[in-house]
Amino acid sequence: MDSALAIRKHESFFGLSNSNGHRDLVIVGLPWDSTSSYRRGAAAAPNHIRAATSARLYNRFTEQGLDLSDWWRVCDHGDVNAKNALSLKQRLAARVSRHHHSDPSMLFMGGDHYVTLPCFTVAAAIQKHPTSLLYFDAHPDLYIDYEGKKQSHATVVSRILESDLSSGTVCYVGMRASTKEQDERIKRLRLETHTAHDVHTRGTAKTAASIRSVFADQPVYLSIDLDCLDPAFAPGVGNPQPGGLSTRQLIDILHGIRGLNIIEADIVEYSPKFDSLSKTTAFTAAILIKETMGSMIEPTPQNRD
């Protein structure tokens, strides 16, 4: 490793690789877009996101003043490359367990949204407890199959719900591009939805309160598809859908759900080649990672809201 690369790696994730935090946050990148259905490019995302989290640009404090170094020590396990879905899951499981961390939390970087399936499966298996899904996305990804394929970024929630590791509880936030078929399945499966219109109408505080009531004490996997945001805030995504959330709204919801038992999280569908020249989406992803890390901190009597 050359000195410049070593410096960049040391500075990524807000400089928290050398913190004294008492919890390990394992980071894994998944450069995968083989199951994308519109415009590919998300496979290039992980290293662009790493670069955007540079400590030279962003400090380690969340917007609410939490010092992430008091809680997290970041352990970046690099990227998992695979040629097919089976090897992706197998290699991910091996990579996550490589350093024998004690009760780690995990943050995954896609990749298209299909990667949430192996990430959810591996994370829930480690927890040994049925896990619920909090899903920020413009799309429900609830097709039984899509374009004749069972394995797709448009079927990932269906595949998760089929798993014995799923609690069956799913809550969507930011959805605005569903179909009759998927809407009927949402109702039949009694899945919770907060559409982009709902968030705009009700506000972020009520949305966050409702999310908290859905999950109570359940272990939660948090998935953020960047297309839950309006393309004005995140143009560099595979399936842009106007009319979405603002960055401000998403951050406020993340603040509002602090206290949930969020055990793992991912951020997906960033496509660098479609981003603005100023890398708007990359920097948005970096800030969302920081605030997500804050939301994953367990409240204590000293810092409880």
pLDDT digits (tens, 9 = 90+) for 80-129: 999 898 899 999 999 988 777 777 899 999 999 999 999 999 999 988 88
Pairing of strands 166-175, 131-136: parallel
Q: What is the pLDDT of residues 207-248, one digit of tens each?
A: 999 999 999 889 999 999 999 999 999 999 999 999 999 999
227 within some domain:
yes
253 within some domain:
yes
For residue 177, give both structure tokens: 């591009």
For residue 158, give both structure tokens: 């269906």
Helix (H) or strand (E) holding 150: none
Pairing of strands 219-225, 131-136: parallel
Domain boundaries, position 81: 3-295
- 54: domain CATH number is 3.40.800.10
**Is the pLDDT reported for residue 188 higher than 60?**
yes
If you average pLDDT over residues 57-64, what whole number do you get?
A: 96
**Is the pLDDT reported for residue 17 higher than 70?**
yes
Instruction: Classify residue 35 as exposed, middle or buried by CB count within 10 Å of its CB (0-12, 13-18, 19+).
Output: buried
Provide, rounded to the nearest whole percent, the portion of the chain with pLDDT above 90.
Answer: 80
Predicted pLDDT at 3: 39
The answer to whether the pTM exceeds 0.75 is: yes
150 within some domain:
yes
126 within some domain:
yes
Count of the separate structural domains present in the chain: 1
**Is the pLDDT reported for residue 189 higher than 90?**
yes
303 within some domain:
no
39 within some domain:
yes
**Is the pLDDT reported for residue 44 higher than 60?**
yes
If you average pLDDT over residues 256-263, what whole number do you get?
A: 95
Give the Cα separation of 173 and 250 in Å (integer).
9
302 within some domain:
no
300 within some domain:
no
* Relative orientation angle of helices 247-256 and 204-215, to the nearest 10 degrees: 40
